[in-house]
Structure 1
Amino acid sequence: MAAVNRLASIVNRINSLPAIARPRALSLFFGKAVPFTGTTGIRILSLDANRCVITLANKRRVQNHIGGVHAVASLLLAESATGFLVGLNVPDDKIPVIKTVHAEYTKRAKGDMTVEAFLTEEQKQRIRDEDKGETAVAVRIHDAEAKEPIEVEMIWAWTPKRR
């Protein structure tokens, strides 16, 4: 598949590395491109135009007062996974922006967190073709026990870049 933008070109080159090197290379690249994500210890396991999977180890620097991954760190994971995915699909003449975040904490999270975000073919087509718009990006957050302690809705918008 041809790259939609410069970011997609870079990620495609990283994805051509041996499988063992990809998570580290993706994580380092995005840690430099989006410095805040680099400081938190987010690790990108896989990323392509359809799906993004990232993890965050439950270490002291991201914990809340009860020893779990802090609520805001969980939202950062969801925002990062969905944002990386939208960023890979939005053409260079448009800019992606988070519009709405809704989170419902349904149970206590235990251990490391993993987030998966997905875009459908229809969503990718709309992002490429429409000058501006918005879409809800599917995202699931799992803890170390494979439970989903947080239900999240992330709505991303895109608009033309100002010249």
Structure 2
Amino acid sequence: MKKNPLRKFVDSIAGHPDWLRRMYLTRMFRMKVKFAGTAGLDILDTDGQSVTFAITNRRKVQNHIGGVHAAAMSLLAESATGFIVGINLPGDKLPLMKRMNINYVKRAEGDLTAKAWLTDEQVQQMENQDKGEITVAVTVTDEAGNQPVECEMLWAWIPKKK
């Protein structure tokens, strides 16, 4: 398996203090995904097979009733799933969002977090197949512990063009 630069970076900072690792991961991700920087997404933690992202309910990302905007919620879930797919794909493969289904089921209260994860089988599938697709599990919760959205993220991958 050809490790990708993103995974090498994640692995290289694994031993750093939590606050420094979070800062490095967040800055790196915001540099790669400009919209994540605009929205102020933060990476709180990753163990290489799961990741937790957060968004603060601040004016820049609010809807007309003072909650996190629906588009910002979907960005949060898409970013978390994309990150975990991105660090687990070999470097010669390109991740692509194929489909996302988001059901808004409850009004969100305050800041939001999204936790996305892969199974061992999904990681093996990405390592061993040139092309494929997987549904990445993600849970979005608000400050009250509620799940305001139900998300299904389908990611695909193809070989990178040489």
- Give the TM-score, by structure 1 length: 0.96
Which amino acid in the other structure matches residue 9 of structure 2? I
Report the counterpart of residue 122 of structure 1 in structure 2: 121
CA displacement at 1:18 relative to structure 2: 1.3
Shift of 1:29: 1.0
Shift of 1:14: 2.1
1:68 aligns to what?
67
Q: Counterpart of 2:97 in 1: which secondary structure?
A: strand
CA distance in 1, matches of 2:119, 2:3: 16
Question: Within 1, Cα distance between the matches of 2:92 and 2:32?
Answer: 18
- Partners of 1:39 and 1:16 in 2: CA distance: 28
Which segments of 5 or more consecutive residues in structure 2 lack a partner in the other structure? none
Q: Which runs of 4+ in 1 moved over 4 A?
A: none
Q: For residues 92-135 of structure 1, what are the alpha-carbon distances to aligned partners after superposition, in whole Å with 9 as ceiling and x for unaligned?
A: 11100000100111110110000000100000000011000000
- Displacement of 1:4 after TM fit? 2.9
Q: Specify the code of the residue in structure 2 equivalent to 1:46.
A: D
Name the residue aligned to 2:101: 102
Cα deviation for residue 3 of structure 1 reads: 8.0
Within 2, Cα distance between the matches of 1:104 and 1:34? Answer: 24
8 A Cα contact 2:2 2:90, kept in partner: no
Aligned length, in residue pairs: 162
> Which residues of 2 match residues 1-163 of structure 1 at below 5 A?
4-163=3-162
Q: Is the 8 A contact 1:133 1:159 kept in 2?
A: yes
Amino acid corresponding to residue 143 of structure 2 in structure 1: A
Distance 2:62 2:33 in 1: 21
Stretch of structure 1 that moved more, 133-142 or 47-56:
47-56
RMSD: 1.3
